[in-house]
């Protein structure tokens, strides 16, 4: 289409992507329901892994790697267009399919919808590249352990996101009671840690002077952190629990006690300033009781920093092609104001590695203001209206990817904006400080978590 205007080409892309995703509707619905019916926790998403890789292996031109990057349930599916052979530098866009569920709640965060949205976006983008004879590479990553474990952080460190010009994914948001729409979200940086205090046991009645009370150390540290909160910025959160009491006896000086803490802040830089102060409280508690102590950190989930360029492209695509007033009772597809999420996600780390976007879409079949991580939401993740919402937003994501892939100007502007943002927030120094002051345990299964409530409501 050498003589098509930009407007004509965008309209042609819109129609092609919509039609492609419509063709995938039935099979993606079956895939989503199969994942939803068999919820699997972090790092053990074997059934979802097999379902998704088998599905992508059936897509023409995709090369699928099972158990990718040394992880049993990670995978990748990559596609390079035929026209790429004529290009010196092939642009690359990544997509993500999450798979893990919540303990006791199943797919109450809608990862079955995220999984098929990743497939829909990647396939539609790949087919458009081939149809319109455009150079480009599409990489869909199957990412385990978002809810607890930091799967994307592990994959990032192992090179899964290397070379991406941009990376995209979507996530279902709160219920909207009939409204259709999506918005661009930010989130908090979060890191969890475990402080273990070790003392010496003794009979609490006969020889208390021979004991070293680890529980006293934990309580002192807990109290010190409570006092610290008064001096912390209002947008910083530090919250923790004392564990291990079920193993204690009232007539024995506790020789071991454990504190589990989470710290949140608006950015990695802000969190890097808080961590040493919390660690000082742990050390002070240990010193006050004469105990030794260790602190094991977990993978930090960095704040989402959406690319301004990708945000503009996504909103334009959604506004342009997602309205269906004849189906939606005359309502337009709502592009909500950008908003902050109180939780965290390991995709935040991806936004620190390359320009990226993580929109959240509304679920029209869910009661208004019903949030993820509830029993109601788990049921809603299987509704036909939720499936439809996931595929609609996938259309806008695929169109966003195509704009990145076909325009070097878009890629250059996007990269400049991202580099400027990373420099402004001191990203590199902040990440280094977090890694240095709070070393990780090295156990991937004990990684970070999204920081949302996992109970029934």
Average pLDDT over residues 364-383: 89
| Greater model confidence, 305 or 364 | 305
Q: What sign does the dihedral 39-44-45-47 (CA atoms) show?
A: negative
pLDDT score for 449: 60
| Greater model confidence, 174 or 217 | 217
pLDDT score for 446: 42
| Greater model confidence, 8 or 279 | 279
Question: Could you tell me the residue ranges of all domains in the chain?
Answer: 6-187+302-423, 189-300
pLDDT in tens, 112-145: 999 999 999 999 999 999 999 999 999 999 999 9
pLDDT score for 2: 46
- Average pLDDT score, the chain: 92
pLDDT score for 456: 32
Q: Which fold has domain 189-300?
A: Alpha-Beta Plaits (3.30.70)
Model confidence at 179, pLDDT cuts 50, 70, 90, reads confident
Q: Is the pLDDT at 7 greater than 70, yes or no?
A: no
CATH topology agreement for domains 6-187+302-423 and 189-300 = no
Percent of the chain with pLDDT over 90: 81
pLDDT score for 324: 74
* DSSP secondary structure letters along 357-409: E-EEEEETTS-TTPPSSSHHHHHHTTSHHHHHHHHHHHHHHHHHHHHHHH-HH
pLDDT in tens, 412-434: 999 999 999 999 999 999 999 99
Q: Which fold has domain 6-187+302-423?
A: Aminopeptidase (3.40.630)
Model confidence at 48, pLDDT cuts 50, 70, 90, reads very high
Q: How far apart are CA 48 and CA 203, in angstroms?
A: 52
pLDDT score for 366: 84
pLDDT score for 247: 77
pLDDT score for 81: 98
pLDDT score for 452: 54
pLDDT score for 450: 61
For the purposes of burial, counting CB atoms within 10 Å of the CB of 207, is it exposed (0-12), middle (13-18) or buried (19 or more)? exposed
Model confidence at 109, pLDDT cuts 50, 70, 90, reads very high
Output the CA angle 156-262-311, nearest 5 degrees: 50
């Amino acid at each position: 289409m050498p003589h098509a205007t930009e407007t004509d080409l965008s309209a042609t892309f819109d129609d092609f992507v919509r039609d492609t995703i419509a063709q995938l509707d039935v099979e993606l619905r079956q895939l989503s329901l199969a994942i939803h019916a068999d919820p699997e926790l972090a790092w053990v998403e074997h059934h979802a892994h097999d379902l998704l890789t088998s599905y992508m292996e059936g897509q023409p031109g995709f090369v699928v790697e099972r158990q990718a990057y040394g992880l049993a349930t990670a995978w990748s599916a990559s596609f390079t267009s035929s026209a790429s052979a004529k290009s010196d530098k092939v642009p690359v866009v990544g997509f993500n399919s999450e798979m893990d569920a919540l303990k006791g709640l199943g797919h109450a965060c809608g990862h079955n919808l995220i999984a098929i949205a990743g497939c829909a976006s990647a396939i539609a983008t790949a087919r458009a590249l081939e149809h319109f004879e455009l150079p480009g590479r599409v990489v869909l990553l199957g990412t385990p352990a978002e809810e607890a474990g930091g799967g994307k952080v592990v994959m990032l460190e192992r090179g899964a996101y290397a070379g991406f010009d941009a990376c995209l994914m979507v996530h279902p948001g709160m219920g909207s009671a009939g409204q259709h729409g999506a918005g661009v979200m930010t989130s908090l940086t979060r890191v969890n840690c475990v402080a273990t205090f070790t003392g010496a046991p003794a009979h609490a009645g006969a020889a208390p002077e021979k004991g070293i009370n680890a529980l006293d150390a934990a309580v002192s540290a807990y109290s010190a952190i409570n006092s610290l909160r008064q001096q912390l910025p209002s947008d910083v959160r530090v919250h923790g629990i004392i564990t291990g009491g079920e193993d204690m006896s009232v007539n024995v000086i506790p020789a071991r006690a454990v504190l589990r803490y989470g710290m949140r802040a608006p950015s990695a830089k802000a969190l890097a300033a808080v961590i040493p102060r919390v660690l000082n409280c742990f050390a002070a508690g240990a010193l006050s009781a004469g105990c030794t102590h260790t602190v094991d950190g977990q993978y930090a989930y960095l704040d989402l920093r959406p690319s301004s360029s990708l945000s503009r492209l996504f909103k334009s695509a959604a506004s342009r092609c997602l309205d269906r007033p004849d189906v939606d009772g005359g309502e337009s597809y709502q592009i909500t104001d950008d908003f902050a999420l109180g939780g965290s996600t390991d995709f935040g780390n991806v936004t620190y590695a390359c320009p990226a976007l993580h929109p959240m879409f509304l679920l029209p079949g869910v009661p208004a203001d019903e949030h993820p991580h509830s029993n109601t939401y788990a049921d809603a993740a299987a509704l036909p209206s939720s499936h439809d919402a996931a595929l609609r937003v996938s259309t806008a994501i695929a169109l966003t990817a195509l704009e990145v892939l076909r325009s070097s100007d878009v890629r250059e502007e996007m990269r400049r904006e991202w580099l400027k943002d990373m420099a402004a927030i001191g990203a590199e120094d902040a990440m280094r400080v977090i890694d240095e002051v709070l070393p990780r345990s090295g156990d991937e299964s004990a990684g970070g978590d999204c920081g949302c409530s996992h109970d029934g409501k």
